[in-house]
Chains A and B, each alone.
Chain A
Amino acid sequence: MVTPYRVSYWSIESVWIFYVLAALAVAVFVFGVISHVSVWSRGARRQGIGFSGQGIFNLFLDGLLGRRIFSGDVAAGTMHLLILWGFLGLFAGTVLISADYWVYHFLKGPVYIGYSICLEFFGLMLAIGLVWALIRRYLQRVTRLERRIEDLIVPVWLLVVVLSGFLVEGVRLSAQRPEWGGWSFIGHVISLFWSDPRGALSIYPYVWWSHAILSLGLVAAIPFCKLFHVLAAPLSIYMEDRPDLPMPAETVTGDEEVFSSRQMIFFDACTRCGRCVEVCPSAGAGEPFSPREFIAAVREDLLLRHHPLKGLDWFSRWSDPRKAEKPDLDPQKVWHCTTCRACLEVCPVYVATPKVIERARSRVVEDGTQVPLLLSQTLEKLYKYNNPWEASKKNRAKWSQDLEISDLTKTGEEDPLCYFVGCTTALDTRAQDLARSFARILKHAGVPFGTLGKNEPCCGDIARRVGEDGLFEEQMESCLALFGRNNIRRVVTSSPHCFHTFRNEYPTFQALRPPDEKVHFDVRHYTQVIGELVSEGSIRFEKRLNIKVTYHDPCYLGRHNRVYDEPRKVIRSIPGIELVEMSHNRANSLCCGGGGGRMWQQDLDSKIKMSEIRIREAAETGAEIVITACPLCLIMLEDARKTASLEDTLRVMDLNELVVMALGLRSEGGE
């Protein structure tokens, strides 16, 4: 028996042409990659790609095993795995056969048989995956998938490459008729088509060359189509774990990019899978915004502006009209996002749209001419009066008038617990009840605490969210200085927004400082504090409340900071209460529409408001009360309840109000 093997370039003449074509394809590929990399290198505050264990781990889970693609869509996950592994397998096969040809001839005998079988399998997987992908997109018409021309060409091209590969093999087997041919089971089946080896032989070169050219073309095309994600996505996934280095507002100059290199890699990693669109509350409410389009527009804009060829005449002839159109980089589009983080939660390649949006906003804010009026008035108020609501500082402590709460700026206590009320809670007449309730609860539990009274500043959340980083830095400085002056190291906030800003933004912004200039303090959200009081028994619910409630996860408490259980635990510890979940809860909770500065935007709502969608979902659970844990959610949902004409059937309460009710403490709000 002859040892099984394969002769490379069997019966192919002028092999040099192949080499020339291959070199050409590789050159185009390399050029394409370089243009992307050169755009990335324009990003602000470049970050090195150092070693990251978490990165490797994510790469393994999200890359090789497609964790995020599977979650929520097993079909998509399986399909993608078939394609990915099929592709990787064939790629490995190509590498091996090249090694076999150039380096050391080892693909012979049983090894070769094994090799052949594996390749057949990989090819089959890839083919099945691709057909499945096409079915999902064109027959099943999965809603989040688009049907643009590229979406058709890329998989079909790949499929043709795979199928033509099988054909090449079939024809070769038919012409050669080796005795081991049966192992290549698909090729073998195809080979049976020709009864006469000479017939097969005569068409073999044509088939071979077609396959070769299609394959090389595909290689060359990778950096220019969505296939580029095979390079960018792993990079993006690997880098996910790294925190954003702060970009001090000073660094944002006119010509410098506001986006970081890392974000630019994210843009290239996006495959337009549409998962973000599916979960985006803004897109969901029918607003003219979609994270996918936004990312695509930013990506195209960056590519056109920083392309290595941009100096060339013909390039600008091609790019200028495209730049002029730029429909989705409209400055007005940056305000829709509520920075709810739902998209980042599901994006398989960790595209951080909310962060990108904040950067894009900073550009609009620095330019100044296109800032929406209400927002610019709000920012003025923030600057002058340290709150987004009132042109005055005097009412900040009004909510506590009859409550006798100590003012930490006056008492000079050692290590006090500082209740940071926050602008909206302190000033909005509806939200004030949250503060009064929380104060009562702390008093009831015997927890000593104080507030900053009239001197409480804004934490900077709004400024940061809308891209006014200079203002954010000033507000952070004044907050830190105030905390420092009054020995405040323990803070509890009403608002998840203040909580998030203190917990995540302050440390990142302080990261650039020398250690001895950093101000550390411990911050908790009130739900955590009440949760603790309930656990340790300082709060005990005795009264039965026979009501059915549902809980709305505020984005900045849940998704951004992973506090899902404490509020639920507190609710459940009230005897008699029944807690039902809405269809969107915890990590896939639906935004009320109030975050990310949206509260101070007008005319962005579409026919139906985000808050209305959410309140209807709450109503569907049959609950009598929606509990939330954020002043903005409280206002938005309260408002939506009226708009949706649910006033008689559904109430909106803050968790504090519920606790006060369950404890039988006096409360004036919540109806």
Chain B
Amino acid sequence: MDVIVCVKQVPEVIDADLKISREGTGIEKEDLVMHINDWDNYAVEEAVCIKETQGGTVTAITIGDDESEDVLRRALAMGADKAIRIDPGERELDGFVISKILAKVIKDLEYHLVLTGVQADDDNSGMVGIMLAETLGLSHAAVVTGVEPEGDLARIRVELEGGMDEVSRIQLPSLLTIQTGINEPRYVSIMGIRKAGKKELTVIPVANLGLSEDDLTPRTRIEEVFLPPETTGAEMIEGDAASVAAELIKIIKEKGVSI
């Protein structure tokens, strides 16, 4: 089974202090560590697991500058066979444009399954995968936590809200957006990454794809980004137990928890 997996490099932000860029529509990325988007990491692992059990190939694709080849090399080290980087140049991208670019490249490849992460941990929009599916005319499912190929079909598990999963059968070729926790991504050693340098990595500039200007025009635009209100140290709540308790309940409710 041939699998294509789309990956993206994103800044790691969990413990970082984010600074808004001068234009006010993005963040300063200089001090941030770039890494593979967490969801994509699971998608690559899933692709490699499928290859290991079913045979076939895995191709990893990303759109990004040459630094983002790191995530491709990582995917290669995990077990992907070849990698493609599409260089967008200075173009402004949104989920729609990204899906159009990917579709144009993937259209000419051999595959039974396309995997993406559910979303990327930068814009958190979670639309590229399913847009790509629709553009390619593939069957699709989002937030997938289980894939078992069964001939022309695959039995899949989708994670719904509130502790419920939905099991269904889907016709291949298909596109699935992969949810974290579907597997345990393997550790990728530095040596493994260095060795993966020998595998095939193709670079395609976006300009060579012959996409229409309409396809390359973003449908949405970030006008402004802003920080949530700042918190500093603990605000001590004083008083007798009863008033403290009342205050705590008020705070908890304010934070959107119903008790």
| B190 CB–A CB distance under 8 Å | yes
Does B189 contact A471, Cβ atoms closer than 8 Å? Answer: yes
CA distance A36 to B16 in the complex (A): 55
| B190–A369 touching, CB < 8 Å | no
Q: Is A468 an interface residue (CB 8 A)?
A: yes
- Whether, in the assembled complex, B242 has its beta carbon less than 8 Å from a beta carbon of chain A, the answer is no
Does B169 belong to the interface (CB within 8 Å)?
Answer: no
Given contacts A368-B78, A373-B184, A385-B33, contact A470 B190 (CB under 8 A): yes
* Interface pair A384/B187, CB less than 8 Å apart: no
Known: A249-B191, A250-B191, A384-B35. A368 touches B16 (CB 8 A): no
Q: Is the CB of B14 within 8 A of A383?
A: no
B189 cross-chain contacts in A, Cβ below 8 A? 365-366, 368, 468, 470-471
**Interface residues as binary, A464-483 with B (CB distance below 8 Å gives 1, 0 otherwise):** 00001111011000000000
Binary per-residue interface labels of chain B (15-35) against chain A in the complex, 1 for a CB within 8 Å, 0 otherwise: 111000000000000000101
Within 8 Å of chain A (Cβ to Cβ): is B94?
no
Q: Closest CB-CB distance, A597 to chain B, in whole Å?
A: 13
**B159 contacts the other chain (Cβ, under 8 Å)?**
no
A379 within 8 A of partner (CB): yes
Contact B190 A471 (CB under 8 A): yes
Whether the pair A368, B33 counts as a contact (CB closer than 8 A) is no
Query: Is B15 touching A392 in the complex (CB atoms < 8 A)?
Result: yes
CB neighbours (8 Å) of A213 from chain B are: none
Q: Is the CB of A470 within 8 A of B187?
A: no
With A and B bound together, what is the CA distance between A380 and B194 in angstroms?
Answer: 16
CA distance A375 to B186 in the complex (A): 11
Q: Which of B17, B184, B191, B194 has the most CB of A within 10 A?
A: B191
Given the complex, which residues of B lie within 8 Å of A380, measured CB to CB?
35
Q: Would you call A383 and B191 a contact (CB within 8 A)? A: no
Are A371 and B186 within 8 A (Cβ)? yes
Cβ-based interface call for A662 (8 A): no
Contact partners of A366 in chain B: CB under 8 A: 189, 191-192
Chain B residues within 8 Å of A384, by CB: 12, 33, 35
Interface size on B, residues (CB 8 A): 18
Q: Does A252 lie at the interface of the complex (its beta carbon under 8 Å from any beta carbon of B)?
A: yes
Asked if A376 is at the interface of the complex by the 8 Å CB criterion, the answer is: yes
B167 contacts partner chain A, Cβ-Cβ < 8 Å:
no
Q: Is the CB of B194 within 8 A of A365?
A: no
Q: Does B191 contact A474, Cβ atoms closer than 8 Å?
A: no
Q: Is the CB of B187 within 8 A of A252?
A: no
Residue interface bits A386-405, CB-to-B below 8 A is 1, else 0: 00001110100000000000
Residue among A373, A385, A392 with most chain B CB within 10 A: A392
Is B33 in contact with A379, judged by CB distance below 8 angstroms? Answer: no
B190: A residues at CB distance < 8 A = 249, 383, 468, 470-471, 473-474
In the bound complex, how far is the Cα of B187 from the Cα of A390, in angstroms? 18
Q: Which residues of B contact A474 (CB under 8 A)?
A: 190
B186 touches A369 (CB 8 A): yes
- For the complex, what is the distance from the CA of A368 to the CA of B191, rounded to whole Å? 11
From 352 to 377 in chain A, residues with beta carbon under 8 angstroms from any chain B beta carbon are 365-369, 371, 373, 375-376
Contact B15 A368 (CB under 8 A): no
B199 CB → nearest A CB, Å: 15
Residues on A with C-beta less than 8 A from B16 are 391-392
Residues of A within 8 A of B186 (CB): 367-369, 371
CA distance A469 to B189 in the complex (A): 9
Is B249 part of the binding interface, using a Cβ–Cβ cutoff of 8 Å?
no
Which residues of chain A have C-beta atoms less than 8 A from B14's C-beta? 391
A252 to B190, CA, bound (A): 12
Residues of B within 8 A of A469 (CB): 191
Closest to B77 in A: A368
CB-defined contacts of A383 to chain B, threshold 8 Å: 190
- CB proximity of B180 to chain A, nearest CB, Å: 13
CB-CB < 8 A to A252: which residues of B? 191
Indicate if B245 sits at the interface (CB-CB under 8 A): no
Closest B residue, CB atoms, query A472: B190
Cα–Cα distance between A474 and B190 once the two chains are bound (Å): 9
Question: Which chain B residue lies CB-closest to A379?
Answer: B187
Tell me if A470 and B15 are in contact (CB < 8 A): no
Q: Is the CB of B225 closer than 8 A to any CB of chain A?
A: no
CA distance A593 to B219 in the complex (A): 57
Interface residues of A in 53-97 (CB under 8 A from B): none
List the A residue with the shortest CB-CB distance to B48.
A369
Q: Provide the residues of chain A in CB contact with B194, threshold 8 Å.
A: 250, 470
For the complex, give the distance between the alpha carbons of A250 and B193 in Å.
Answer: 11
Chain A residues with Cβ below 8 Å from B191 are 249-250, 252, 366, 469-470
Residue on B nearest A475 in the bound complex, by CB: B190
Residues of B within 8 A of A473 (CB): 190
Residues in B neighbouring A371, C-beta threshold 8 A? 186-187
- Find chain A residues with CB under 8 A from B193 CB: 470
A103→B189 CA distance, assembly (Å): 63
Chain B nearest CB: distance from A67 CB in Å? 40
Residues on A with C-beta less than 8 A from B33 are 384-385
| Interchain CA distance A514-B193 in the complex, whole Å | 26
* Distance in Å: Cβ of B2 to nearest Cβ of chain A: 22
What chain B residues lie within 8 Å of A390 (beta carbons)?
15
- Give the docked Cα–Cα distance between A219 and B190 (Å): 49
How far is it, in angstroms, between the C-alpha of A340 and the C-alpha of B190 when the chains are bound? 26
Assess A376 versus B12: contact at CB under 8 Å? Given A366-B192, A384-B35, A385-B33: no
Chain A residues 449 to 489 lying within 8 A of chain B, measured CB to CB, are 468-471, 473-474
- Nearest opposing residue in chain B for A366, CB measure: B189
The 9 sampled A-B contact pairs (Cβ below 8 Å) are A252-B191, A365-B187, A390-B15, A392-B16, A468-B189, A468-B190, A470-B190, A471-B189, A473-B190
Give the interface of B toward A (CB within 8 A).
12, 14-17, 33, 35, 78, 184, 186-194
* Residue ranges of A at the interface with B (Cβ–Cβ < 8 Å): 249-250, 252, 365-369, 371, 373, 375-376, 379-380, 383-385, 390-392, 394, 468-471, 473-474
Besides A365-B189, A384-B35, A470-B191, 15 other A-B contacts (C-beta < 8 A):
A250-B194, A368-B188, A368-B189, A368-B192, A369-B184, A369-B186, A376-B187, A380-B35, A391-B14, A392-B15, A392-B16, A470-B189, A470-B192, A470-B193, A471-B190
The 6 closest A-B pairs by CB, nearest first: A470-B190, A470-B191, A368-B186, A371-B187, A376-B187, A391-B15
